[in-house]
Amino acid sequence: MRKDGDFLFTSESVSEGHPDKVADRISDTVLDAYLAADPEARVACETMVTTNRIILAGEVRGPASVTSEGLIQAARDAVKDIGYDQEGFSWRKADASNYLHAQSADIAVGVDSAGDKDEGAGDQGIMFGYASNETDTLMPAPIYYAHRILHTMRDLRRAGDARVAGLQPDAKSQVTLHYANGRPVKATSVVISTQHDAGINQADLRERLGDVVRGILPEGWMPEDKEFYVNPTGVFVIGGPDGDCGLTGRKIIVDTYGGAAPHGGGAFSGKDPTKVDRSAAYACRYLAKNVVAAGLADRCTIQLSYAIGVSHPLSVYVDLDETGKDVDEARLGAILRDVMDLTPRGIRKHLRLNRPIYAETSAYGHFGRTPDDARDNFTWERTDLVNALRSALNR
């Protein structure tokens, strides 16, 4: 994404009822079940959902108290919570199969701590984190508003609001923003495709959803009428896993920054926090957000890299995109290593990741969420390193 000048940039989001997000939710529900039973459990769960079928697969290491029957029931409960009890996909009637098996001993030996060896990364890989001061959440504006539209529609649907009457769980949004001098100033188009009951009046639905979107976008940002699209194909009755097969990990750009920043090679959902695909990506976002929150830069991209079985990151890269406030990027990278232990164990301990907190992350983005002190969730969205960073730089 260009960061200065005048341009258009687009991001999309998908709802919790999108087939891939149903799969992500189930995989994270399986992960939460294991972590609730044993905080040190190992999980790499992949899910496929299609017409009245749920398939679990992957590798696990955890207590026998987590049974196949219990996991299948948890998957059904997740589908029920999303809202699927349709002819083609129902939490009650779907055939559910569990093919999870024991974690490879070759992987475990590289990850486990033993003697003088600290716990190693669960795999090699590169992870990125990003923050920008163009929104209050320090997220890029296009993905921020794309998420908010669908999250609001979900909340209204669950509350029985008349503006979303007749809508079903599957939905997608897309927001295109006009940037002037590198800052977002208005939306040039908004697209919403949402599953609905048969026979719904599309013109009425468009008017109702227009009212929802106007309440989300800043005043004056609503695109002109011809650039507001609702169900462009004209009908969207068959949806969810009945309309399209869903797989864990296929929405990694939706999960992160909407394409406004680089993304590493791995998905998040279904992976326990020894997998740096997830935990180190959370750490990167946490560090980048604290850098921007501390006023050290307007934008910050951070990359970490790891090797399987090796504890410390192989590299820490900081890019302030020429917006740094008299900050040397190399020095800042060294400071970040000092203010946070970036080993897999250190990240898990600092962000308290060995807890059943992941089902909630599976839709509407892993980043830009509001941490809740009572539930101690989304800890990577906190800005509690601001003072340490400023102090290290004598600010």
> Binding site: what residues are annotated?
18, 20, 46, 59, 103, 170-172, 244, 250-251, 267, 271, 275
Residue 276, both tokens = 């740096």
Give the annotated binding-site residues for L-methionine.
59, 103, 244, 275
Burial 349-379 (b: 16+ CB within 10 A, else e): ebbebbbbbbbbbbbbbbbbbeeeeeeebbb
State how far the Cα of 218 lies from the Cα of 240, in Å rounded to an integer: 31
Q: How many CB atoms lie within 10 A of CB 332?
A: 22
Q: Which of 261, 290, 19 is nearest to 127 (CA)?
A: 261
Residue 220, both tokens = 């004056």
Q: How many CB atoms lie within 10 A of CB 348?
A: 22
CA angle 368, 370, 371 (to 5 degrees): 120
| DSSP 8-state class, residue 57 | E
Block residue for tokens 């079903």: 168
Helix (H, G, I), strand (E, B) or coil at 363: coil
Give the annotated binding-site residues for ATP.
18, 170-172, 244, 250-251, 267, 271
Beta bridge partners of 246: 49
Count of alpha carbons within 13 angstroms of residue 198, beta-carbon side: 2
Block residue for tokens 């090796």: 310
The 167-180 sheet, strands edge to edge: 7-14, 167-180, 183-196, 228-230
State how far the Cα of 3 lies from the Cα of 201, in Å rounded to an integer: 41
Q: Which of 271, 269, 218, 301 is nearest to 1 (CA)?
A: 301
State how far the Cα of 122 lies from the Cα of 130, in Å rounded to an integer: 23
State how far the Cα of 292 lies from the Cα of 325, in Å rounded to an integer: 10
Sign of CA dihedral 375, 259, 136, 172: negative
Give the annotated binding-site residues for K(+).
46
Give the annotated binding-site residues for Mg(2+).
20
The β-bridge relationship of strands 183-196 and 228-230 is parallel
